């Protein structure tokens, strides 16, 4: 990944494109429709991106800055990583170190439009019958035209991996039920923030939900690991 913090551009390439925050927003909106100027400013405040400042205080972003923003937004959207973890990843990339156990976000292309069932099944590693079972047991849901959202691919891919171990979609209903209950709990936590009905409020709520989702996943993994250690007599 080319210098995620944009330092090389700033130091060695004075002709690198310099974009206003509005131009950056326009460049990102195609892949990240929910991104806002407030979100970009928030990521800057968290030191995930470092645009230059003009003498009058306006932000100017290099192409490397935009690449860094894409990485952050994709990691949040596709891997549900909290900003703390994303920052650690970026720091490792800045040092030229690989990410153990993680592929760079841009190395994992994600479709941007709904997929027909056959294409979705292939992308997920499921047979069409397994996909039909996932639909039947509420793990994924097609739209009115029988197509599937790309955002459902992580669920479908996890189901495909479990199927290789003999765990069928019908066995996964308890995961869906638990996720729905957990989502309802997290929704209650951010509802007061969303009542403000502003871009800033939505950005804060999105950040809070991302952080909470990461912590919930961490808790689930820790509890499962502890239980499995008991099974193994550890």
DSSP state of 30: T
Q: For residues 202 and 206, what is the distance between their CA atoms, to the nearest angstrom? A: 6
Pairwise pLDDT comparison (101 vs 226), residue with the higher score:
226
**pLDDT above 80 for 130:** yes
Average pLDDT over residues 25-46: 87
Q: For residues 89 and 87, what is the distance between their CA atoms, to the nearest angstrom? A: 5
Which run of H or E residues covers position 11? helix 7-12
Q: Which residues contact 40 (CB under 8 A, 6 or more apart)?
A: 21, 24, 25, 28, 49, 69
Position 123 scores a pLDDT of 83
Nearest residue to 87 (alpha-carbon basis) of 5, 209, 11: 5
Q: Which residue has the tokens 């400042």?
A: 53
**pLDDT above 50 for 103:** no
**pLDDT above 50 for 104:** no
Write out the E strands in the chain.
Answer: 52-53, 59-60
Position 213 scores a pLDDT of 80
Q: Which of 19-23, 56-60, 110-114, 182-186 is predicted with the least confidence, judged by mean pLDDT?
A: 110-114
Position 54 scores a pLDDT of 87
The pLDDT-based confidence of 133 (bands split at 50, 70, 90) is very high
Q: For residues 224 and 232, what is the distance between their CA atoms, to the nearest angstrom? A: 12
The region, left, alpha or beta by phi > 0 then psi within -120 to 50, assigned to residue 6 is left
Pairwise pLDDT comparison (175 vs 108), residue with the higher score:
175
Q: Which residues contact 6 (CB under 8 A, 6 or more apart)?
A: 49, 50, 51, 61, 62, 63, 64, 65, 67, 68
Pairwise pLDDT comparison (15 vs 126), residue with the higher score:
126
The pLDDT-based confidence of 83 (bands split at 50, 70, 90) is confident
């Amino acid at each position: 990944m080319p210098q995620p913090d944009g330092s090389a551009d700033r130091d060695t390439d004075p002709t690198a494109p310099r974009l206003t925050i509005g131009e950056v927003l326009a460049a990102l909106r195609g892949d990240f429709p929910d991104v806002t100027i407030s979100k970009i400013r928030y990521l800057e405040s968290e030191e995930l991106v470092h645009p230059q400042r003009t003498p009058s205080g306006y932000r100017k972003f290099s192409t490397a800055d935009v690449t860094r923003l894409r990485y952050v937004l994709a990691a949040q959207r596709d891997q549900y990583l909290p900003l703390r973890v994303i920052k650690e990843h970026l720091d490792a990339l800045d040092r030229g170190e690989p990410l153990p156990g993680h592929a760079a976000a841009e190395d994992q292309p994600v479709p941007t439009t709904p997929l027909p069932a056959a294409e979705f099944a292939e992308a997920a590693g499921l047979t069409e019958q397994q996909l039909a079972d996932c639909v039947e047991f509420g793990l994924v849901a097609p739209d009115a035209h029988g197509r599937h959202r790309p955002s459902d691919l992580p669920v479908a891919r996890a189901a495909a991996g479990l199927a290789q171990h003999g765990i069928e979609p019908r066995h996964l209903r308890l995961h869906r039920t638990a996720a729905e209950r957990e989502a309802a709990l997290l929704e209650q936590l951010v509802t007061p923030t969303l009542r403000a009905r502003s871009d800033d409020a939505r950005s804060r709520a999105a950040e809070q939900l991302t952080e909470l989702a990461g912590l919930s996943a961490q808790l689930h993994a820790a509890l499962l690991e502890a239980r499995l250690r008991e099974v193994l007599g550890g």
